[in-house]
Amino acid sequence: MSATILSWSLLIAQILLGVAMAIASFRMIRGPRAQDRILALDALYVNAMLLLLVFGIRTGSTLYFEAALVISLLGFIATLALAKFVMRGEIIE
């Protein structure tokens, strides 16, 4: 009983998060400006982290938690560096 409930709800959650990632990728490709792309990349990172956590619940393994932590760290640093670059690139121009 509980296995059925969980497997269905986790499947739905995974599909929803997949849709969210697809939309973020679309916004990243579409732009129109650099800051939109960076914002979409940040959202993509957060969604990927959440998807990993849902995978963790599905498999019952805490291993995915560490991957999620690393992804959220990397996403933060990447977004920060890109935002800084967007600002400084204009100064040099």
Partner 1 sequence: MTQAADLPVWAALLTSFLVLLGAGFTVVGAIGLLRLKTFYERMHAPTLGATWGTAGILLGSIVFFSVLQSRPVLHEVLIAVFVTVTTPVTLMLLARAALYRDRSEGSTEVPPPVGTDGAAKPGGQV
37 touches partner 1 (CB under 8 A): no
Q: What backbone phi and psi angles, to 5 degrees, belong to 62?
A: -85, 0
Whether the Cβ atoms of residue 86 and residue 35 lie closer than 8 Å to each other: yes
Count of residues in contact with partner 1, rule CB under 8 A:
55
- Cα(91)–Cα(57) distance, integer angstroms: 46
48 touches partner 1 (CB under 8 A): no
Q: What's the start-to-end Cα distance of the chain, in Å? A: 62
Q: Give the residues lining the site for partner 1 (CB under 8 A).
A: 1-3, 5-10, 12-14, 16-17, 19-21, 23-24, 26-27, 33-36, 38-40, 42-43, 46-47, 49-50, 53-54, 56-60, 62, 65, 68-69, 72-73, 76, 79-80, 83-84, 86-87, 90
